[in-house]
Amino acid sequence: MRVSCPADCLYLESGSDYQQKRLAVQFMPIRREFYRELTELGGDKSVALFNLIEVVTFGYFQGRRDGQDAEVVAALQALRRTLSPLHIPAAPMPVFAEYLKKEYDTFKKQNPEQIADMSSAPEILDRAIAFVSRFSGTDFQSQRFLAGLIGYVRAYHPEIAEYLTKQREPGHIILPGQQFMPPPAPEPHTHGPGCHHH
């Protein structure tokens, strides 16, 4: 028998947290080895690319229960196509793929010397796709990679997890022209003959 559980169910929450903690322990050594491979492949620039992917993925999926590893793989494949020297026509990009591409472009514009570019990114992304796919396993709707990554960040880098969670919370979006400071207090009022109080 299968019981549908609402997204805010306490039992679902605790089960999900448990899975993330359990998978974080498995994820950590495999991730460490992958970072070592990336360092050998392309140094700090290749590490920076995958680190950006992890940060963006955590920030995007950490509050969602419906995220699947296939979305991450599709986004990596889409990013790879856009950074490939060959033009490969493709269908419109999925939402997370567009988000990842936008974050990559922003980082690349602000830090051009710190991240892999079109010359080395495709090979790094191929390896990232293989890494995510291996950890994800063969289940059709696997969330194993996402749970491992989210659990890892929460368990081993709680300050980063907290920062990224706050960035994604509604109400924290600052539009151009808005201030961080609250509006100024109104002028003090002096009662007199011109007052019109209700």
Kindly report the backbone phi and psi dihedral angles of residue 116, in degrees, each rounded to the nearest multiple of 5, phi listed first. -60, 145
What one-character DSSP code corresponds to residue 119? T
Q: With 70 as the cut, is the pLDDT of residue 10 above it?
A: no
Looking at the chain, the whole-number percentage of residues with pLDDT higher than 90 is 63
Range from 7-21, 79-93, 124-138 carrying the lowest mean pLDDT: 7-21
Whether the pTM exceeds 0.85: the reply is: no
Domain locations in the chain?
10-168
Q: What is the identity of the amino acid at 139?
A: D
C-beta neighbour count of 117 within 10 angstroms: 12
Q: What's the CA angle centered on 19, arms 78 and 79, to 5 degrees?
A: 10
Q: Where are the alpha helices (DSSP H) in 62-157?
A: 69-83, 95-110, 121-136, 144-156
What is the torsion angle, in degrees rounded to the nearest 10, for the CA atoms of residue 134, residue 44, residue 116 and residue 90?
10
- Per residue in 20-71, pLDDT (tens digit) is 999 999 999 999 999 999 999 999 999 999 999 999 999 999 989 899 999 9
The shares of helix, strand and coil residues in the chain, as percent rounded to the nearest 5, are 60, 0, 40
